[in-house]
Amino acid sequence: MKKLIQLLTISVTIFFIMNVSVQANDNMPKLYSDFSSSHWAYEYVATMKENGIIMGQPDGKFYPEKPITRAEAVQYIYNAMDKKPMVAEVSTFEDVPKNATYKEAINALSEIGAIQKSKKFNPDGYLTRAQLAKMISIAFQVEDDQKNKVKFTDVTSSNWAKHYIESLADIGVLKGTGSNYFSPHRNVTRVQMSAILGRILDFKEQLTNYEIIYDFLQKDYIPTVNQNQKWINEVVTLVNAERKKQGLKPLVYDKRLGQIAVVKANDMIQNGYFDHQSPLYGYPWDMAGIFDYSFTSFGENIAKNFTSSNSVVDAWLKSTKHRENILKNTYTNIGVSCIKGKDGKYYWVQLFSST
């Protein structure tokens, strides 16, 4: 069998969702007297109840198809927010009672722009799907842009909520109402609110776990799940062991930098190149900037065809330029990826930075 040619390139340095609906079965515990365990949104409603975000009524019912009011909406969204903004306790809305239970929520969402500051809030009015799109997008800091894949027949270019709706639809948080319609003026029901909040929380969890990242160039969230985590950990251990021999401080594994390394590996695989300069993102430091990563110095090592952490680190250390990156005393952080391409070859990316 012919040996695979092991490739290394000279390193460079510069200073300076698709939502899945889960169908519950009849063996699941009954949450509310009017809500079946076989309902399509059972998991979402259960999550809302478990986390105290949307509860049932005192009579033991959930009333899934009941429209929610604007006051209820701000409270539910506020309940679901992980980091709640600190704001003054003074409401600017004339129609919000001083003793309103949702007063803290409305102040917080008003402060961050999720609801518009004005004299009237209309707390008892029903919330539309378009209004909810804006509130969710801003409250959970979703990047909304004008380059979206999902389009709805009834959401025209003149619709004020178009980009909020389409951006949330792109990541699977919002769904249509059938036949490619979104029904932006339709009222939001309690079960719909449960599902939408459940999806946005799933999305935020992916962000927190570094499984997705926003690409400011392509205007889209892209996956950044790293493969072969054991090899990744071993690479970091081997690099730091070599640095210790040279009397250098160990590098800290930077998950954000690791995400960018995954993007670079996938970019090489998808666009059929093996080089420090990406046809799409440019040089490594250009890519870091596109993904809003701050640094004072930046470096990259890449490799292909190596099938173990030991062999790739050994090859890097035997190459003068790659070794210089590994042992550069100004670097503080490291990120690594190892992605298997469709050709069966492993693409390695090792990023360094000082922050």
Average pLDDT, the chain: 91
At 71, the amino acid letter reads: A
Q: Over the stretch 107-127, which tens digit does the pLDDT of each residue have?
A: 999 999 999 888 999 999 999
Specify the pLDDT at position 90.
65
Q: Over the stretch 280-291, which tens digit does the pLDDT of each residue have?
A: 999 999 999 999
pLDDT of 322 over the 60 cut: yes
Helix (H) / strand (E) containing 297: strand 297-304
DSSP SS3 for 346: strand
At 58, the amino acid letter reads: P
Count CB neighbours of 190 within 10 A: 23
Tokens of 56: 């049932």
Specify the pLDDT at position 15.
34
Specify the pLDDT at position 27.
67
Q: Over the stretch 238-273, which tens digit does the pLDDT of each residue have?
A: 999 999 999 999 999 999 999 999 999 999 999 999
pLDDT of 58 over the 60 cut: yes
Q: Percentage of the chain surpassing pLDDT 70? A: 91
Q: Over the stretch 161-195, which tens digit does the pLDDT of each residue have?
A: 999 999 999 999 999 999 999 999 999 999 999 99
Q: Percentage of the chain surpassing pLDDT 90? A: 84
Separation between Cα atoms, residue 245 and residue 148, nearest integer Å: 50
In whole angstroms, how far apart are CA 59 and each of 49, 73, 133, 144? 15, 21, 30, 40
pTM of the model: 0.88
**φ, ψ for residue 264, nearest 5 deg:** -65, -45
pLDDT of 18 over the 60 cut: no
Count CB neighbours of 353 within 10 A: 26
